[in-house]
Amino acid sequence: MQESPPLSPGAVFDYLRALTYEEKGYEMIQAVASRLMARVLTTCVVLGLVAFSTPSRAAQPSAPGALPTVVVLSTGGTIAGRGTSLTEYKAGSILGSELVEAVPEIKNHANVRVEQIINIGSTNMNTAVWLKLASRINAIFSEEPAVAGIVITHGTNTLEETAYFLNLTVKDERPVVLVGAQRPATGTSADGPLNLLNAIRTAGAPVARGKGVLVVMNEEINGARDVTKSNTYRVEAFRSGELGFLGYVDEDQVSFYRASTKRHTSRSEFDVSKLSALPKVEILYAYAEPSTVTIKALGDSGVDGIVFAGTGAGGLSNLERAAIKAFGVNPTNQKPVVVRSNRTGNGRAIPRKEYDAEGMVPGDNLNPQKARILLMLALTKTRDLNEIRRMFSEY
């Protein structure tokens, strides 16, 4: 007896609906229902046997030629913004799952799972979210060896800070890629979809392993340590200063041309797994004829550290240096650790005898906001100035 062809759900529905208008419809419906039930039971048994005999996919490395598995952690930002204006819109209005679904081509490059961590504009990013991200990323990498990499959708205003924090706290060589957009998702000529596609491609690329945390936007790959937002609205806003970006994401492949030599990720000594908060570190901006009111207020507040965005090569005025020396006069507060950065955007703040003698730590070429992050993490381990100087040299 020849087997009947399979019935699609739509065909079954139309067939049954027609039968209800015939005299013998009830008996025929019973017959069809019996056929369907038998097939459903057979299918369930087969699927159950397959599921029982197949190892968990998460525990297996991807087969050659198979699509990589990439996890997207969504935090909001302009890339998830809603509004037709390129300047007046609400950031963090669209879910990460919607962002991925809006780019069908992603399915050609990776198997993607989305987790919504938070949905905010990145001006409201904070250390609690940083700790949550670091914990979740390390858990995914520890528990899911099949995951090739992780993408974080993020607002651009503080994206570089989140990237550098993760660069120092993620404990795996697999890629972590941050991506954002300069235009909202619903705006004219939105840049988010292509940025997201390229970030997922980079996170799934074996060539991206061991490069540290990355930032992918405008078809360029930047390293977390050096990249900074350099323009308010242009899509090519993210730059790595004089050192330059690491590579391109073109239609054919992900290409790297250089990599950071500084310590990061799996080679980092910082462990935040047991922390619920970070030391308090503030930034002061140097300028001609500065007021020392803020310096004194910070010293009196018991802040753990201060980063000076100094003039030139990290210079401080006599007024500022005198205010810092006065920190030690108040015995009730521990003197904050002071790091010299610079406001120029390029170049190093190097050791200088006059500043070293006053206990200040040179910040190398880290910009002030990243020097703050490294100092916060350094203070979770030590207050020894020589050790902190070593960290600023190595990271």
pLDDT at 162: 98
pLDDT exceeds 90 at position 4: no
Q: Which CATH class is domain 281-394?
A: alpha beta
Rounded CA separation 99/251 (Å): 20
pLDDT at 381: 98
**341 falls in which pLDDT band (50, 70, 90)?**
very high
| CB-based contacts of 42, cutoff 8 Å, min separation 6 | none
User: What is the distance, to the nearest Å, from the Cα of residue 350 to the centroid of all Cα atoms in its chain?
Assistant: 30
Rounded CA separation 104/116 (Å): 19
Determine the Cα angle at 223 with ends 240 and 99, to 5°. Answer: 105
Residue 116: phi and psi, rounded to 5, are -90, 110
- Residue spans of the domains in the chain: they are 9-54, 69-267, 281-394
For the beta carbon of residue 206, count every other beta carbon within 10 angstroms. Answer: 12
Residue 32's nearest CA partner among 57, 55, 48, 15 is: 15
Q: Model's pTM, two decimal places?
A: 0.83
With the CA atoms of 91, 94, 97 and 103 taken in that order, what torsion angle do they form, in degrees rounded to the nearest 10?
-80
What is 69-267's CATH topology? Rossmann fold (3.40.50)
Rounded CA separation 145/135 (Å): 16
pLDDT exceeds 50 at position 40: no
Q: What percent of the chain has pLDDT over 70?
A: 82
Mean of pLDDT over the chain: 87
Residue 213's nearest CA partner among 270, 268, 155, 170 is: 170
By the 8 A CB rule, do 336 and 299 touch? yes
pLDDT at 276: 97
| CB-based contacts of 66, cutoff 8 Å, min separation 6 | none
pLDDT at 53: 31
Task: Confirm whether 69-267 and 281-394 share one CATH topology.
Answer: yes
- Strands 247-249 and 238-239 turn out to be unpaired
Tens digits of residue pLDDT in 103-135: 999 999 999 999 999 999 999 999 999 999 999
What residue type is 320 in one-letter code?
E
By the 8 A CB rule, do 142 and 106 touch? no
H/E stretch holding 115 reads: strand 111-120
By the 8 A CB rule, do 91 and 80 touch? yes
Q: What is the DSSP letter of 88?
A: S
Is residue 289 classed as helix, strand or coil in its secondary structure?
coil
Q: Active site residue: 69, 75, 78, 202, which one?
A: 78
* Residue 311 bears catalytic tag: no
pLDDT at 334: 84
What residue type is 378 in one-letter code?
A
DSSP 291-346: -SHHHHHHHHHT-SEEEEEEBTTTB--HHHHHHHHGGGG-TTSPPPEEEEEESSSS
**13 falls in which pLDDT band (50, 70, 90)?**
very low
